[in-house]
Amino acid sequence: MSEVGHRPWFNKSSKVPRVEPPSGDHVGSKLQFSVEASEGSQNPPSAPLFPDGVEVLYECPKAAFDICFIHGLTGDRRTTWTAPKSTWTANKQPAPWPQELFPAEITTRARILTYGYDAYVLRKSVASSNRLRDHATNLLNNLTTDRASCSASSRPLIFIAHSLGGLVCKMAILLSRNNPDTHLRELFTSTKGVIFMGTPHKGSWIADWSKIPAKALGIMKSTNKGLLTVLETENQLIQSLQLDFMSMLRGSGNLKVTCFYEELPLPMVGQVVCKESATLDGYNSIGIHANHSAMVKFASKEDNGYKSLLGELQRWMDGNGYVA
């Protein structure tokens, strides 16, 4: 989802559809398909543009924490967290809400990061387990490199992950925990908490294409089938990931977890991740009165979902002895 309104997402030849990213991080969006007319064009095809890797949304010179946001399926490291024009806002939010809304209680103590990865794979997918593992491995390496570059490898770290991003986050933490390289194990030892937002810990029905209404299929048909397979409720990888992560939680003792779940359905699609799948037994769960996409797009400080998330962050940060 590029922030530039109609910048080509994929443009290879006159026989290949050009796909433009949707304007929001949700299943109900529509992709626009067009056939390239200039068959004899002298210009080489442009490569797909995707903002991947770590981006610093807010730099804090005396940071005691890093807070890292991870988007979900079809998401984007900026637009996923940016509120659109609505009844209460005359214009689209100028920047992601973590950059705009966080109070000084957070920004004087934490560096705010957002991580991007390509969850819009148009080419034929490799095995689903490899796709998820690849994203998790890249997250582990990219974030480790970023934190090392500012001498923050051991700085306490909190993740805020939406949808598929929660699965990527869980696997990255597990890969770090069991990594033979000492520098890559820092991410596991530094992680103090994870806020999951609409994460399908037990799978999601959107992986079953046969259940999705025709009008909503545009976005799904362009998405990596391997990633969707991971989301199936009976998928062995997601079940194994869940068991390993819960075992790690029981063993770590001090890793904080809060799960937010959607309360409203997506138009034409329904509920993407049910409460049962989005929550973890024994850990705090909070409902957000929004659909799967809108649950992470806070328009103002008065948004009740924002207040709930902020409350969790402040409680965790104060509890670690890093009171400003």
pLDDT of residue 6: 34
How far apart, in whole angstroms, are the C-alpha atoms of residue 256 and residue 62? 23
pLDDT at 195 over 90: yes
8 Å CB contact between 280 and 259: yes
Q: Which residues of 79-103 are buried (b: 16+ CB within 10 A; e: fewer)?
A: bbbbbeeeeeeeeebeebbbbbbbe
Higher confidence at residue 227 or residue 191? 191
The ranges assigned to domains in the chain are: 50-319
How far apart, in whole angstroms, are the C-alpha atoms of residue 166 and residue 72? 8
For residue 193, which phi and psi values (nearest 5 degrees)?
A: -170, 155
| pLDDT tens per residue, range 90-115 | 456 688 999 999 999 999 999 999 99
How far apart, in whole angstroms, are the C-alpha atoms of residue 113 and residue 120? 21
Q: Which fold has domain 50-319?
A: Rossmann fold (3.40.50)
Token pair 């992680």 in the structure block, residue? 191
8 Å CB contact between 4 and 17: no
Per-residue pLDDT band at 229 (split at 50, 70, 90): low
Strand order in the sheet with 110-116: 53-58, 110-116, 65-70, 157-162, 191-197, 256-262, 284-288
pLDDT of residue 204: 73
Task: Give Cβ neighbours of residue 162 (< 8 Å, ≥ 6 apart).
Answer: 25, 69, 70, 71, 72, 75, 80, 197, 198, 199, 295, 296
Higher confidence at residue 142 or residue 323? 142
pLDDT of residue 295: 95
Mean pLDDT of all residues in the chain? 77
| pLDDT tens per residue, range 289-314 | 999 999 999 999 999 999 999 999 99
Classify 188 as helix, strand or coil.
helix
Please indicate, yes or no, whether the overall pTM of this predicted structure exceeds 0.85. Answer: no
CA angle 213, 263, 240 (to 5 degrees): 80
